[in-house]
Structure 1
Amino acid sequence: MFQHLFGFRNGVPVVVGACFALPAFAQVDCAQPPALPVHHQIPANADTVHWGFFSKDLSPQKVIHSEDLVTIETLTHHANDDAERMVLGDPSAESVFHWETGEKGVERRGAGPMDASIMGRGAGEGFGVHILTGPVYVCDAEPGDVIEVRILDVHARPSANPDYVGKVFGSNVAAKWGFQYNDYLEDPKQREMITIFELDATGSEQWARAIYNFQWTPQTDPDGVVHETIDYPGLPIDRSTISTDTDILQGVRIPVRLHFGTMGVAPDIDGLVDSVPPSSFGGNIDNWRAGKGATMYYPVAVPGALFSVGDPHGAQGDSELNGTAIEMSLTGLFQIVLHKAGSLGGTPLEGLDFPLLETDDEWVVHGFSYPDYLTDLGSGAQTAIFESSSLDKAMTDAFRKMRRFLMTTKDLREDEALSVMSIAADFGVTQVVDGNWGVHGIIPKRIFVSSGNE
């Protein structure tokens, strides 16, 4: 079993607790691992984030050894939906979202051309939207290995505006990429709506409530580009152009599910890879189960793995139907463990070529319309993926991964695995908005009894 509530170094348990106030910015090299895990910290600011893409060519923000701890701050790319509540007074967020004529805190936003020669939206074109902190280089990680990412704790990032002390805010966007966009009942038939939610920063209340919403109106960015729709991340909003409605979702409270929508390692692909479609390297999986106490496993494709995390969420349901979760900034405490290829035989990680999630009670496989779309769709993959996804394909992939998982890790014959999948596994729609649509399969651990425990 690979689940845990504390850390290890060379098999010795080391309590890590839930505190982020450990020695900051510890530096190590790969020559000799220390006797005990080192705790590193990576703040989120204009110097430590990459916006909208994964890349094997990024310089690491930290170099760590297996079993080290890393506190990583993450910022939502939707913070400018209400800059007063989610950016103002926060120096880190202000450095990332800074945008004046001819000057942005983070110039590139997406994997597209820097000169915006395709769509004219801005540098990077918004071909990829998530603010990702990292990457983290894991010493001795090589292609064929697996890294285990334990999510030991998750905290919401409070508003830094003194007018909103003790509050956390997030944004849910019913966007043009949402499942509903071409199937509205009410006029206007195609519209983008932004709903701002409020949470208690202390965590004493595990509910989010809506405080207002507004319909997107064309916005002119500081460089003079008009955005008729939400087509570029981090756009400043001219509040004089919108009308807010505070009489919404009365008597409705949303359960808080703090988690990270996008986590993954660098794919072995030249150039930049759009952060939106998930794939074998992880990325934008958008599974709300990837929160405190969960573990994610990723197959390593490049030396050092180069792990990055972002797209923090306050709450989300399976499907993320209207386009987003409650997008809000979070800080996570992670422990990263390296499993060398030669040690994987006879474990649940044997032959792993997809992102696998584990909780105390469940194993969760992730299926996609295309298991490895960058390879499956060829040279035009990063465009083609948005035109050819389907739930049928994603379900087929989830089925095949669950079948292999049961046959490999539980030593079931194929007919046994098929029976178990039908009567004990739950398959659900992870998301239908990320280009490469997702279906997850959940198998409860409790169905497998140890000999003598029947």
Structure 2
Amino acid sequence: MSDHICSTGCNHFSHLNDPDLLAEFAEARHSLRANISGTKASGKAGLGGVTYRPLPSKKAGENVSHYYIPANKDTVHWGYFSKSMEPLVKLESGDYATMEAVTHHSFDDYERMIQGDPGVEGIFQWDANNKAIDRRGAGPMDHPVGAGGGMGVHVCTGPIYVNGAEPGDVLEVRIIDTMQRPSANPDYRGKSFGVNVAANWGLQYNNLLTEPKMREVITLYEVDATGAQTTAKAVYNYRWAPQTDPWGRAHPTIDYPGIPVDRSKIKLNYDVLKGYEIPVRPHFGMITVAPAEADMVSSNPPSYTGGNFDNWRTGKGSTCFFPVAVPGAMFSIGDPHASQGDAELCGTAIECSLTGLFQFVLHKKADLPGTKLYGLDYPLLETESELVVHGFSSPNYLKEFAGAADPAAAIKGSLDTAMTDAFNKTRRFFMDTRNLSEDEAISLISISVDFGVTQVVDGNWGVHAIIQKDIFPKK
């Protein structure tokens, strides 16, 4: 069996990890804002500031472009995926895109995470007369808590259409680099901020020791926007107090994304986690292609095409492989994090806006036999030293609960079924791509593969299997 699937550094694409592009991104980090100049891209997002430019040719007949996709009200979709959306851009295999991703928790501190940032201000604009992005979630538009019902909460940037991608293919997405989105408030220049929310969907909510019980607590963290400081520190925390949104709806709990927080109703506690330093490991909690089973799909539960699987390893230097389910793949990102632990126990990570530099490589179905991507029907993550297989309580909940009014709500989160799914996929990986017998695969799994709890908060609970690549026979 061959492992050759155009890994980083492969000469099949001479632009991979283009040094000029990497230098440009590094300079953007230093200047505290990505700003890739170019020609306005065609498609829906001409109004959204999407641009592109060709990269210098390094091989006759090779055309590679770099797209810049800012996050603003015209380039994001909030809380859902859809195979029938109009894509922001159509790009070719080998192309790059710099994509901004904004956390849906930005309004937990308007001053630090929204104020002065036109793109983010536009996304979260909501007053008595206007709501810039009305639909937030895959639910009905007349849902009592707000349009879309919060049945899906993430601010998603995209989708991107990859020319030539067809069902049965695999899309490789390389995360070349990431940078924190800096605060646009001059009072906080050089800093970035994110929040951790101990929320009502977290595992702790019905299992608290101290009063008041069933509370939701927001903790704000400060991160160095330049990346020079590699740890985050807590600034303050506060308990969620019932809020009334600009259209008069009451929210006793955090039940809808992007609710403006009335600071007069909360009390900030600055005596929190003094002296603790949290390692920063920026990543995208939600990274996905569109599923085929439904037209409007919640962004909350992960599935076979990716989505909100919340693995902190999906950061700089890693590669994600997704089974293509619809023409063009329809790729989106969201739920950016500054850091997270396995399980994401209280419901969130440090929810912190990020910008990522990605490269897209399409692998056609006919080329997959004999490679590690053969038979891929789940998101596969690769780092320099590991392959990470993702199992879920319901591997394809959209198909399993197709008759339900809300398939996402029908999922029964269970580590038993997620562990079984992770084992089944890992066994199949060794048998199908390494040509091992079932007995060999089972023995190898038991003695060398580490299983971890990816997350227990997204409805469709996850268990991942970490395969160390150095166990494979040397060529």
The question of 1:79 aligning with 2:103 is answered: no
Contact 2:418 2:462 (C-alpha < 8 Å) held by counterparts: yes
Find the aligned partners of 1:7 and 1:406 in 2 and give their Cα distance: 24
In the TM superposition, what whole-angstrom CA distance separates every residue of 1:330-386 from its partner, at most 9, and x where no partner exists? Answer: 000000000000000100001111110001100000000011010012221734645
Moved over 4 A (4+): 1-14, 383-387
- State the match for 1:164 in structure 2: 188
- CA-CA distance at 1:101 after TM superposition: 1.1
Q: Secondary structure in 1 aligned to 2:150? A: coil
Once the two structures are superposed, what CA deviation does each residue of 1:71-90 show, in whole Å capped at 9, x if it has no partner? 00000000000010000000
Q: Which residue in the other structure is 2:30 paired with?
A: none
CA contact (8 A) 1:27 1:63 kept: no
2:25 aligned with 1:24, yes or no?
A: no
Q: Distance in 2 between matches of 1:100 and 1:389?
A: 37
Query: Which residue of the other structure, out of 340, 344, 348, is the alignment partner of 1:324?
Result: 348
Q: Displacement, 1:449?
A: 2.6
Cα deviation per residue 1:312-345 (whole Å; 9 max; x = unaligned)?
A: 0000000000000000100000000000000001
CA distance in 2 between counterparts of 1:232 and 1:80 reads 12
Question: Per the alignment, in what secondary structure is the counterpart of residue 80 of structure 1?
Answer: helix
* TM score, norm. by length of structure 1: 0.95
1:103 is displaced (CA, Å) by 1.1
Q: In structure 2, what residue type is equivalent to 1:52?
A: G
Deviations 1:269-321 (A, max 9, x none): 33310000000010000000000000001111110000000100000000000
CA contact (8 A) 1:366 1:440 kept: yes
2: CA distance, partners of 1:214 / 1:55: 35
TM-aligned CA deviation for residue 25 of structure 1: 5.0
**Cα shift at 1:132:** 0.3
Q: Shift of residue 450 of structure 1?
A: 1.5
Query: Of 160, 164, 179, which residue of structure 2 is paired with 1:140?
Result: 164
2:174 is paired with a residue whose SS is: strand
Deviation track 1:213-265 (CA, whole Å, cap 9, x = no partner) reads 00000000000001000000001000000011000001211110100000111
| Partner of residue 326 from structure 2, selected from 302, 305, 312 | 302
Alpha-carbon separation, structure 1, partners of 2:10 and 2:157: 22
Structure 2 counterpart of 1:24, one-letter code:
G
CA contact (8 A) 2:368 2:374 kept: yes
Distance 1:215 1:168, change over 3 A: same
Counterparts of 1:325-340 in structure 2 under 5 Å? 325-340=349-364
Structure 1, 315-324 or 414-423: larger mean CA deviation: 414-423
Query: 1:69 maps to which residue?
Result: 96
Q: How far apart are the structure 1 equivalents of 2:452 and 2:373?
A: 22
Q: Deviations over 1:359-414 (max 9, x none)?
A: 11000000000110100122217346455110000000000000011111111111
CA distance in 2, matches of 1:198, 1:159: 10
Decide whether the 8 Å contact of 1:25 with 1:40 is kept in 2.
no
In structure 1, what is the Cα distance between the partners aligned to 2:223 and 2:169? 39
Alignment of 1:301-450 (within 5 A): 301-380=325-404, 382-383=406-407, 385=409, 388-450=412-474
Alignment map for 1:272-291 (pairs within 5 Å): 272-291=296-315
* Aligned-partner Cα distance in 2 for 1:223–1:417: 57
Say whether 1:215 aligns with 2:220.
Answer: no
Q: Does residue 57 of structure 1 match 2:84? A: yes
Partner of 1:103: 130
Secondary structure in 2 matching 1:439? strand
Aligned partners of 1:295 and 1:357 also within 8 Å:
yes
Q: 1:54 to 1:7 in 2, by over 3 A?
A: farther
Alpha carbons 2:298, 2:408 under 8 Å: kept: no
Other structure's SS at 1:104 match? coil
Counterparts of 2:411 and 2:83 in 1: how far apart (Å)? 26
Matched with 2:264 is 240
* Cα deviation, residue 203, structure 1: 0.7
CA RMSD of aligned residues (A): 1.8
Find the aligned partners of 2:400 and 2:11 in 1 and give their Cα distance: 38
1-structure distance, mates of 2:16, 2:212: 58
In structure 2, distance between residues paired with 1:410 and 1:18: 38
Cα pair 1:7 1:335 within 8 Å, conserved: no
Q: Following the alignment from structure 2 to structure 1, what is the Cα–Cα distance between the partners of residues 61 and 112? A: 41
The amino acid across from 1:370 in the alignment is S
Q: Distance in 1 between matches of 2:324 and 2:243?
A: 41
Amino acid at match of 2:72: N
Local SS of the residue matching 1:122: coil
Aligned match for 1:154, one of 172, 178, 186: 178
Separation in 2, partners of 1:97, 1:315:
23
Whichever residue aligns with residue 371 of structure 2, its letter is T
Distance apart, 1:3 and its partner CA: 6.8
What letter corresponds to residue 45 of structure 1 in structure 2?
N
1:90 to 94, 117, 123: 117
Extract unaligned runs of 5+ from structure 2.
Answer: 26-34, 44-59
Count of residues paired in the alignment: 445
Code of the residue aligned with 1:194 in structure 2: it is I
Task: Give the CA deviation at 1:24.
Answer: 3.2
Change in 2 beyond 3 A, CA 1:248/1:146 = same
Q: Which piece of structure 1 moves more, 96-105 or 8-17?
A: 8-17
Instruction: Find the partner of 1:45 among 51, 72, 78.
Output: 72
In structure 1, how many angstroms separate the alpha carbons of the residues matched to 2:220 and 2:17? 40
Give the unaligned 5+ runs of structure 1. Answer: none
Give % identity.
Answer: 57
How far apart are 1:36 and its partner, in Å? 3.0
Aligned in 2, Cα 1:8/1:156: closer, same or farther, shift over 3 Å?
farther
